[in-house]
A and B are shown apart, each in its own frame.
Chain A
Amino acid sequence: GAGVSQSPRYKVAKRGQDVALRCDPISGHVSLFWYQQALGQGPEFLTYFQNEAQLDKSGLPSDRFFAERPEGSVSTLKIQRTQQEDSAVYLCASSLRHPNTEAFFGQGTRLTVV
């Protein structure tokens, strides 16, 4: 595809429900990042993959959050037993290689927990 694609664009979940957010990075991009963006704030790091390896998950706020990228391409961020504080925009970004090249963002998934 032409850019990073995320789905769904919007998700409303009842508190306690599990959700899965999908990210399709740009083909060939090695690095993939997940960020959480609260309203009026900057993106906050969640986790980072290099190919299929999850090299850093220090930003995941709790063990209810889990991410995978099993074949080094598509990634899924899963949130179990959603809470109201999980409401945010979840952004995925990918970059071609290391080090320090432009990260391309998807349009994000806006998660609202009611």
Chain B
Amino acid sequence: GENVEQHPSTLSVQEGDSAVIKCTYSDSASNYFPWYKQELGKRPQLIIDIRSNVGEKKDQRIAVTLNKTAKHFSLHITETQPEDSAVYFCAAVPGGGSYIPTFGRGTSLIVHP
């Protein structure tokens, strides 16, 4: 089955800096890669996603890149703000047969004012 590795587990930045979170996946059949943000005690919520037919997607301060050959994808947050502090999860979803998202272990992002 799919295996998703996520790094780092904790990321501490100053307000205004950029943050990068990286994930690798093992199943070449995965073709959908969502990123979720989970604030303390709340449900995970989708913030951005990318499909395997594109290499990059951007939404305001958030961008995701995908390298299918290397089987890795990354989340980039620019001009970080304290409200960006949360746990971020990457996931990989196979395109055939099983459509079950497999999640990384999460990155706790702390943005210091």
Q: Which of A33, A43, A56, A104 contacts B89 (CB 8 A)?
A: A43
Contact yes or no, B101 A33, CB < 8 A: yes
Chain B interface residues (CB < 8 Å from chain A): 1, 6, 31-32, 34, 36, 42-46, 49, 51, 89, 93, 95, 98-106
Contact yes or no, A40 B95, CB < 8 A: no
A108 CB–B CB distance under 8 Å: yes
Q: 18 other contacts beyond A45-B100, A102-B34, A102-B49, with CB at 8 A cut-off?
A: A31-B99, A35-B103, A41-B106, A42-B89, A45-B101, A45-B102, A48-B98, A48-B99, A56-B98, A98-B99, A99-B95, A100-B51, A100-B93, A103-B101, A105-B36, A106-B43, A107-B42, A108-B43
Contact partners of B36 in chain A: CB under 8 A: 105
Q: How far is the CA of A99 from the CA of B29 in the complex (A)?
A: 13
Q: Which of B6, B42, B100 contacts A48 (CB 8 A)?
A: B100
B38 to chain A, nearest CB (A): 9
A91 CB–B CB distance under 8 Å: yes
